[in-house]
Structure 1
Amino acid sequence: MVKHQKHAKLQRPNLGAFARNEWALLGAPCGVIQQLARDIAIQLNSDHAVTFIDERHLKDGPAPVPASEPFQARWTKHADAVELAERSMPNSYSAKFQLRSSDIVLVNGNHFLAQQQIVCVHPKKTLSHKLDRLTQVVGYWLAPDVTEIPAYLKEHVGNANLPIWRSGEEVELAAWLKDKMLADRPPVKGLVLAGGKSQRMKRDKSKLAYHGKPQHQYVAELLNATGVEDVFLSCRSDQAFEDAKIALLPDTFMGLGPFGGILSAFRSDPNAAWLVLACDLPFLDAQTLAFLLKHRNPSKVATAFYNPETDFPEPLITLWEPRAYPRMLEFLSIGNSCPRKVLINSEIELLKVPNLNALKNVNTPEDYDAAVAELKVQD
């Protein structure tokens, strides 16, 4: 008997209890853990967004909204920050929504679980009764005057080669966390947008030949040359590509143009960054793509080129990070399906394009004739 599938089987992002990159600090008094988290964040927050998850202690943090107040949440503006107090704690879903812009999440492991753990060895605390929290220990931090890791921890954790940081080595600990985050950054996949109806061109733009082959094939080869993990051809479900030498990725978000193609790519793999290229860019070159990848910033929603002719970011030569997926869905939920507006209203890495001609797109038969003539002159 086939088991009934109640819900759609979707690819899920690789998130822990709170975020992609999360580490619990546990095994020391809460005040020590709070200071350790602050010391780490000081080293990282100039380049990366660090969040600390902690229980509210009596003298710490904003007071929750009292039941007598009519507000669900209260925003209090200070000179340089906005304090948010909510009536109820976020659940496991809303916490992930709220923390998706965080690069690193540090967790007070005395109160909350996290995917990975850094064990703090402190004379005033023992973890002998909390060993079940140690599921993926990545290192130890030793408090002042502590010289050895207790035998019970060595026996439980088992890995004798884990790094050890001593009190005063928070700079080294922060550097290790940063290197780990960068090493685990999402892989890049390529997406050639070929699902447009080419109404102004009056024939399929993806099959025009500027370089002796269909343009979708040429762009795919450019992507392959950059060393991205896989390349896909974004298309409508009713399109035929008998000559396609790359995998097709039909739209699952219908009627949304390029926006739907990008969302469909993230739906197929929400754990990849997607280097998205339109198929109407005959002057695009390998050097421009290499420049984009070299200056990738995984801490942003996307890395894109500034187009001086439009005075806006160029959305269809853009490296979209996994955090762009929920951001785009937010825009869709308020009735907006413009990739450019997502870029304009999000934290992005905006680059000056080394070859301005690479941004030139071709939409009409007249544009096509002019592009072919220009490319002949260049040859």
Structure 2
Amino acid sequence: MISTIPELNGLVLSGGKSTRMGRDKGALIYHGVTQRKHLYQMLLPYCKEVYISCKSEQREHPDELPVIEDAVEGAGPATGILSAFMKKPHSAWLVLACDVPFLTPATLTCLVEGRNPEKVATAFFNPATGFPEPLITIWEPAGYLLLSEFRRKGYNCPRKVLINSDIQILHAPDAKELQNVNLASEYEEVIKLF
């Protein structure tokens, strides 16, 4: 049993290439501000500090939010998570992908209240994939070692780490909120809903 619960910081993953979308998914607007800023603001009540994860060439963006630049290469979304742990290895990280426009504070509250710091991570079960959702997850400091170990073995998928680790699984109040939007056609449909 751990004696103190690691502080919780927030990380919005916004460093991807957005190849399928054709433009920066973090810069899309669903809620009146860029998606990265919307999620940054959503994380603030839950976290000591919140950062935007990005590549060095993406550092300059109009939102002027605190960033953590990718410190490792070629690891997909694990790049941002590993870079955050490199900056603050003793913190836990509440990680959000920037492409989840349906996410609400109610779901984040469920995640934070269901957090189990004794586990590697606390994650929602995603019924759409049948697996834990790695990019709406609280990664505890022990996750840093496992992500690094999996990466050394050639596995850059955070979901594989969750599947093969001792994690706390939760059920989201509304599984639709876990849906990500990757394609331009999906974006056009989603903004009609907002």
The bucket for the TM-score relative to the shorter chain is over 0.9
What 5-or-longer segments of structure 2 have no aligned partner? none
Is the Cα–Cα contact under 8 Å of residues 303 and 348 in structure 1 kept in the other structure? yes
Q: Distance in 1 between matches of 2:40 and 2:158?
A: 21
Deviations 1:190-211 (A, max 9, x none): 0000000100100000000001
Name the aligned partner's letter for residue 34 of structure 2: P
The alpha-carbon deviation at position 333 of structure 1 amounts to: 1.5
Q: Distance in 2 between matches of 1:358 and 1:246?
A: 24
Is the Cα–Cα contact under 8 Å of residues 217 and 245 in structure 1 kept in the other structure? no
Moved over 6 A (4+): none
Name the aligned partner's letter for residue 30 of structure 2: Y
Larger relative contact order (Cα-Cα within 8 Å, sequence gap ≥ 6): 2
- Equivalent position of 1:213 in the other structure: 33
> Is 2:135 the partner of 1:309?
no
Is the Cα–Cα contact under 8 Å of residues 306 and 350 in structure 1 kept in the other structure? yes
Query: Any residues of structure 2 matched to 1:280-295 within 5 Å, and which?
Result: 280-295=99-114
Match of 1:326 among 126, 137, 145: 145
> Is 2:183 the partner of 1:364?
yes
Query: Any residues of structure 2 matched to 1:232-311 within 5 Å, and which?
Result: 232-311=51-130
- Equivalent position of 1:136 in the other structure: none
> Is 2:48 the partner of 1:229?
yes
The alpha-carbon deviation at position 294 of structure 1 amounts to: 0.3
Please give the secondary structure, in 1, of the residue aligned with 2:60: coil
Q: Distance in 2 between matches of 1:209 and 1:240?
A: 19
The alpha-carbon deviation at position 242 of structure 1 amounts to: 3.2
- Equivalent position of 2:6 in the other structure: 186
Is the Cα–Cα contact under 8 Å of residues 281 and 361 in structure 1 kept in the other structure? yes
User: What TM-score does the superposition give when structure 1 sets the normalisation length?
Assistant: 0.50
Is the Cα–Cα contact under 8 Å of residues 59 and 69 in structure 2 kept in the other structure? no
Name the aligned partner's letter for residue 220 of structure 1: Y
The alpha-carbon deviation at position 332 of structure 1 amounts to: 1.0
Is the Cα–Cα contact under 8 Å of residues 225 and 286 in structure 1 kept in the other structure? no
- Equivalent position of 1:195 in the other structure: 15
What 5-or-longer segments of structure 1 have no aligned partner? 1-102, 105-180
The alpha-carbon deviation at position 245 of structure 1 amounts to: 3.6
Deviations 1:63-111 (A, max 9, x none): xxxxxxxxxxxxxxxxxxxxxxxxxxxxxxxxxxxxxxxx35xxxxxxx
Name the aligned partner's letter for residue 258 of structure 1: P
The alpha-carbon deviation at position 374 of structure 1 amounts to: 1.8
What's the Cα RMSD here?
1.0
Is the Cα–Cα contact under 8 Å of residues 117 and 140 in structure 2 kept in the other structure? yes
Higher alpha-carbon deviation: 314-323 or 231-240: 231-240
Is the Cα–Cα contact under 8 Å of residues 328 and 342 in structure 1 kept in the other structure? yes
The alpha-carbon deviation at position 360 of structure 1 amounts to: 0.8
Name the aligned partner's letter for residue 11 of structure 2: L
Q: Distance in 2 between matches of 1:225 and 1:324?
A: 23
- Equivalent position of 1:345 in the other structure: 164
The alpha-carbon deviation at position 254 of structure 1 amounts to: 1.2
Is the Cα–Cα contact under 8 Å of residues 237 and 251 in structure 1 kept in the other structure? yes
Q: Distance in 1 between matches of 2:76 and 2:59?
A: 17
Larger Rg: 1
The alpha-carbon deviation at position 238 of structure 1 amounts to: 1.1
Q: Distance in 2 between matches of 1:301 and 1:282?
A: 26
Structure with the higher helix share, 1 or 2: 2
Name the aligned partner's letter for residue 185 of structure 1: I
Percent identity between matched residues is 48
Query: Any residues of structure 2 matched to 1:65-104 within 5 Å, and which?
Result: 103=1
Deviations 1:88-144 (A, max 9, x none): xxxxxxxxxxxxxxx35xxxxxxxxxxxxxxxxxxxxxxxxxxxxxxxxxxxxxxxx
Deviations 1:221-252 (A, max 9, x none): 000133x1000000001114332242110000
The alpha-carbon deviation at position 357 of structure 1 amounts to: 1.5
User: What TM-score does the superposition give when structure 2 sets the normalisation length?
Assistant: 0.97
Q: Distance in 1 between matches of 2:42 and 2:62?
A: 17
The alpha-carbon deviation at position 323 of structure 1 amounts to: 0.5
Q: How many pairs are equivalent?
A: 194
